[in-house]
Amino acid sequence: MAITLFYLVHSFTGNLPWGECMDEWGPYLNASNKICVPATAKGSNSTEQNNTVSSSELFFTLEVLKEKTDISDGIGTPEWRLTLCLFVSWLITFFVSVKGVQSSGKVSYFLALFPYVIMITLLIRAATLEGAAEGMYYFIKTDWNKLAQAEVWYAAVTQCFFSLNVGFGSIIMFSSYNDFSHNINRDALIVTTLDTFTSLLSGVTIFGILGNLAHNLGVTPDKVINSGGTGLAFISYPDAIAKMEAVPWLFAILFFFMLFVLGVGSLVALHGTANTVVQDLFPKLSSWQVSSCTAAGGFLIGLMYVTPGGQFMLNLVDYFGGTFIIFIFTLIEVVGVAWCYGLENFSLDLEYMLKRKVSVYWRLTWGIITPVFLIIIFIYFCVKFERPTYSGYPYPDGVLAFGWAVLVIGIFQFLFWIFYYIYKNREFGFPEMIKKTFSNEHWGPTGQSRYEDWKKFKEDALAKSRSPEKSRLKRYLNILIGRT
């Protein structure tokens, strides 16, 4: 978000700063034997030579990040302009979240809807550009052979986790404010459908403009995609905008403002999750006290990412803490709900809440497809694990150890509470100790009358499904297909 805000501010200048080469880059170009090509340049020879580099890439690495290629001597000190942008980002997040869902709920309408206005505007503009059709076709073209590659499925799953905020706690936090009988089945369908639609809309829009960039350079669309992620957002796309003949600064403002709004929306959700956890533990603290402390903590942690070696750390933490560990937690959550708490128990809980039976699709997905699928991908990832790198540069052993520490600390939280409750129930025999450790006897809806009604509903349903006349195999099959 700090980098996005930095680009947004610079987009208000008459001439986009990444559109032309700067004299300050001379020493770097001489040392690396590179030639800077202005992003405003057009033609097939502008970026095809091995010794050329676009001004948009140099602006990102040298002017914005002041990036280091080796962090063995440290990551450096925070860059003051990015630090200021980071502070403003967290300040906005604080004001949005300061009153909990009362304040963030009102702002969410703008955070959720306004990006669509900008995306549609950019899509209309992209559709008028030469070469846009080739870029859009490149985006939707399917390579079926990729479906046989496990790493593609791993990347797709982790992207879904990030896009839908699965495994980060935000969904649980927001849903905790719902009414007891809220139609969560409808919400799940709406959210996943809109997420897919948004991904397609943004993809078509971005690749349409990248198709125009490829057309101007006389190359195929795959040649202008700079590795994805930050490279796509802050190198390839700004490069394409700089080549626009009509008001490129306006489309730069729209694009980076959209990214910033989306970033605020994601950060507000994560910030709200942290606030809710702290307030549940310390209910005497006021909302603004909790929000200010968590925002200050987030800002201090974020300083690591606005240093010259910040992208190294961002990639490392994202790999171990934002991808791998979220994958593990999600796998544990699915297995814990479907296999430990039990698919039958979970389905009956939803049936009591929604007054309707859970369909076969959801039962099969929760009970078999999702956990087995995640386990297979996890095993493959562990077997094929390779030492992470950033832009081809290896991590020093000490920095890599930090990444492993992030992973171990995260997993330790889960293991710690398991062993804590095992130790707490140590006076019982082993089978009873394990049973009490994973006991759900205190689980249920709040309110005495509702709790008693729910308990009776569960007892009647379980007594009927666990009839002595039914074999264990038949009972499991009935659970999967929803028969009693």
97 is in an annotated binding site: no
266 is in an annotated binding site: yes
How would you label 355-379 residue by residue, b for 16+ Cβ within 10 Å and e otherwise?
eeebeeebbeebbeebbeebeebbe
* Residue 34, pLDDT score: 87
* Residue 417, pLDDT score: 82
What residues contact residue 15 under an 8 Å CB cut-off, 6+ apart? 249
* Residue 437, pLDDT score: 74
Nearest to 270, CA basis, from 89, 471, 18, 53: 89
Provide the token pair at 346.
């979970």
DSSP-based three-state secondary structure for 461: helix
* Residue 91, pLDDT score: 95
* Residue 45, pLDDT score: 45
* Residue 49, pLDDT score: 56
| 8 A C-beta contact, residue 321 and residue 407 | yes
User: From CA 197, how far away is CA 203, in angstroms rounded?
Assistant: 10
What is the residue-level pLDDT of the chain in tens, covering all 484 positions?
899 999 999 999 878 999 889 888 888 888 888 888 888 776 644 445 567 888 998 999 999 999 888 888 888 999 999 999 999 999 999 998 887 777 777 787 788 888 899 999 989 988 888 888 999 998 888 888 888 887 788 888 888 888 888 888 888 888 888 888 888 889 889 989 999 999 899 889 989 988 888 888 788 888 777 656 687 888 888 888 888 887 889 989 999 999 999 999 889 889 989 999 898 889 888 888 999 999 999 999 999 999 999 999 998 988 888 788 888 888 888 988 888 888 888 999 999 999 989 889 999 999 999 999 888 888 887 887 888 888 778 888 888 999 899 888 888 888 888 888 888 887 877 777 777 777 767 778 888 889 899 989 988 888 887 777 667 777 777 777 777 6
Number of CB atoms found within 10 A of residue 149's CB: 11
Number of CB atoms found within 10 A of residue 225's CB: 19
Nearest to 357, CA basis, from 368, 369, 349: 349
Note the pTM of the prediction, 2 decimals.
0.86
| 8 A C-beta contact, residue 299 and residue 43 | no
Kindly give the pairing relationship between strand 393-394 and strand 389-390: antiparallel
